[in-house]
Chains A and B, each alone.
Chain A
Amino acid sequence: MPDIEITNLETLPGRSITKHLGMVQGNTVRAKHVGRDIMAGFKNIVGGELRGYTELLTESRDESVNRMVEEARALGANAILNVRFSTSSVSAGASELYVYGTAVVVS
């Protein structure tokens, strides 16, 4: 994600907002897969981190951020402010990662 600044603050310090472009968003729905599930089944017995799932969620979150950035870029923004994430499990074995923020032009 180059050239577009992402922050979850409401302003960028030392810069002023010259134009508001409205809300931008991105989402992905991901399902787990069997290979990762076997390892997770084992970890469910001994406890501990499910590394496969951690990676899976990181990838999915990056993907939704990328979608949001693409949308902001199409609007001509150079920053996205007040970014928020939300996660919900849509059905058994699948979850949605949603990210949203406000696209702006800062000087």
Chain B
Amino acid sequence: MYTAQRLWLASMASLFVFLFLLALGYFFGRMNEARHFQSLERREADLADITVSNTKQIPQGMSDCQFVSGNVVISIDYFKRLLAGIRTLFGGRINAYATLVERARREAVLRMKEQASDNNMRHISNLRLETASVFKNAKTNIGSLEVYAYGTAVK
């Protein structure tokens, strides 16, 4: 009786922790994401005059090359990770990760553009984007990913 009671308590405690993390992930994850998208949109509008291309040619009349880059490591929240985990049982589209990758990519490109605008550059040629799931370990199987954007800025 005594051990059964303890077992019950322990399982209730872990269930409570799980639900707590889930709620935390849901609310803060949503909040963070909404805030991040807002900031992305605002900064993208500010830097809209810097054009970016992934061709190797640079526009006529521009010179003065400079290497620019930006990177970001971003993590998914607990709630979305669970959703994605369930999704992988049935297959299909995982929206949770799609927005994560989109945020990371836009952020990295923005940071690169910010660096270019600090140096009064007007255009970025030969943009390359690289995505890596870094510091992968068994516990957090995809968790976080890094996006690195680099290119050559000219003015």
Contact = CB atoms under 8 A, between A and B. Distances in A.
A and B are partners in one complex rather than unrelated chains: yes
Chain B's interface size range is: 35 or more
B36 A48 contact: yes
B73 A8 contact: no
A60 to B, nearest CB: 10
Interface residues of A, number: 35
B128 interface: yes
A43 B145 CA distance: 13
B37 interface: no
Interface of B: 21, 24-25, 28-29, 32-33, 36, 56, 58, 62-63, 65, 67, 69, 71-78, 80-81, 107, 125-126, 128, 130, 132-138, 140, 143-144, 146, 148, 150-152, 154
A58 B63 contact: no
A61 B21 CA distance: 34
A107 interface: no
B104 to A, nearest CB: 9
A93 to B, nearest CB: 6
Contact of A45 (B25, B65, B138): B25
A8 B152 contact: yes
B69 to A, nearest CB: 8
Contacts of A61: 69, 71, 148
A64 B152 CA distance: 18
Contacts of A85: 128, 130, 148, 150
A49 B74 contact: yes
A6 interface: yes
A30 B49 CA distance: 37
A8 B128 contact: yes
A53 B25 contact: no
A9 B5 CA distance: 69
A87 B134 contact: yes
A54 to B, nearest CB: 5
